Amino acid sequence: MATRCSREADRQQGQVLVLGMLLAGAMITALVHYFQAGKVLAEKVRQDHALDAAAYSGALVQARALNMLAYINRAQAAHQVAMAHLVTLGSLAHFAGTEAQRASMGNPPAYVIAMHFGPDHAAAYLSALQATGLEYMAKEQGALASAYARHDQTNRAVLASAAARVAKLYVESRDEAMREVLRANYPGDPSFHLEIIEDGAEGFLNAYSGNQLLQPFVRSLAQLYDFLESRDHLKRSLFPVSYRCPTLRHELRRRGSTVLNEQGIWQSVDTQSYHALRSNRWIGCYYREYPMGWGWIPPRESSLLDIEYVEDSPENFAEQDFWRWVQQSTRWDIASSRGNPLANSWAYRDRQRWEGGGLPAFQDLSDARRSSSAHFIVTLQRKGSSGQWLHSRSAAETYFRRPRGRADGRRELPSTFHPYWQARLRKPTLEGKGARP
């Protein structure tokens, strides 16, 4: 009986081994499957991270391009302010030189200026003698004109050209930066396919004429400098002159201004005249003007300022009375005018026309994107190690944010005049509006 049981047990040995082998095979298959799934998941996560890094790098390239445009635009405005100072220096240098000539001639005499307007004005008039020959600095080939031309060349050619190139290539540079990041993450793997399916950076920028929008900004900058302010001054004598006009007096009129005209070109004019009160029975009281100094700097391409002057004016009035010449040759009101029309005329005659153009073209946001960000959505397709294609999607944007709020508490719209552009990732939408490889 015992022998029979032993034989029965021998025949049953190994049956559990078969079940065990089947179970082990199933477990190995499951482990291989989960290993492959984990490997694919790890590749997918790595690919997502690589694409996020690429998208952020692309947005950073956009931010750097927009900030570069801001620095260029601000540099262009700074050059314009420098040109305003130079043209003002030019007219003042010419004014000082011509005033030195009149002071040396004694026309008008310094003692007359002292008697009617005080010793300070006479001393200032005589101090012009130290500026003899200074008008040559304002000549068309002089040092000031050369400096002005160099600023204009830098502004209109170098900076404007650089800004146009940045605006033209920043989208292309962004895409190349993203591909470079992916190549660094997958060296030697040319199988990835990068695609932009929504691109808010296209049409984000636009080129504008300098006279279109830059002019108000430059004018507001010029107001920060006292040197560019109006140089008008009026001094009246205390002594009565004529019984026909007892309330009128001799006048010393200083006129000067630096102007950015509608063409976007700087001009500066400076004059000073002694206006002696005269009267006769034909026209009554009038002012006989004696120019003491003058200077006018208009660049070549500019139309002249709208001030009183005539193209042909006599050097002196020995052969004809001043008032008769005014009546016959001009439309000046010498009875109540407050300008220096004869000094203006001599300034026109001796004007120095410097080389220079108008405000340069500049790059700014297009009107349709004035309150938006430069965003984009990008997809990546890459063949994994097991042969299947992996798909990833990411989105990023370049946005405008001031480091601190405005002093007036108002919200500032994005622009390319402040380098406050930053980059960040954003949540991608489910569907893009278009596709661009």
Q: What is the pLDDT of residues 131-161, one digit of tens each?
A: 888 888 899 888 999 999 999 999 989 999 9
Alpha helices in 106-232 (DSSP H): 110-117, 119-127, 143-153, 160-185, 215-222
In contact, 209 and 362? CB cutoff 8 Å: no
Residue located via tokens 């405008």: 400
264: left (phi over 0), alpha (psi -120 to 50) or beta: left
Q: Distance between CA atoms of 14 and 224, rounded to whole angstroms? A: 101
Question: What pLDDT does 57 receive?
Answer: 97
Q: What are phi and psi of 286, to 5 degrees?
A: -155, 170
Residue 115: the pLDDT is 94
Contact of 391 with 380, CB cutoff 8 Å:
yes
Q: What is the pTM of this model?
A: 0.84
Looking from the CA of 7 toward its CB, the CA atoms found within 13 Å total 4
pLDDT for position 437: 42
Nearest to 214 by CA among 168, 259, 164, 264: 264
- What was the pLDDT predicted at 432? 46
Using an 8 Å Cβ cutoff, are 295 and 272 in contact?
no
Is residue 354 within 8 Å of 297, Cβ to Cβ?
A: yes
92 φ, ψ (degrees, to nearest 5): -70, -40
218 residue type, one letter: V
Q: Phi and psi of 239, rounded to 5°?
A: -95, 135
In this prediction, the residues of the chain whose per-residue pLDDT falls under 50 are 432-437
pLDDT of residue 434: 41
List pLDDT tens digits, range 80-109. Answer: 999 999 999 999 999 999 999 999 999 999
Half-sphere exposure of 249 (CA within 13 A, CB side): 14
Report which DSSP code applies to 360: P
Q: Where are the domains of the chain?
A: 59-437
Token look-up 């097991």 returns 386
Which pLDDT does position 433 carry in this prediction?
A: 47
- Edge-to-edge, what's the strand order for the sheet holding 233-236? 233-236, 251-260, 266-280, 284-297
User: How far apart are alpha carbons 73 and 290 in whole angstroms?
Assistant: 45
d(CA 97, CA 131): 6
Pairwise CA distance, residues 199 & 197, whole Å: 7
CB 103 within 8 A of CB 124: no
pLDDT at residue number 410: 87
Give the separation between CA 113 and CA 120, rounded to whole angstroms. 9
Assigned token pair, 289: 């003007």
* Phi, psi values for residue 14, rounded to 5°: 95, -10
CA angle, 79 then 80 then 84, to 5°: 115
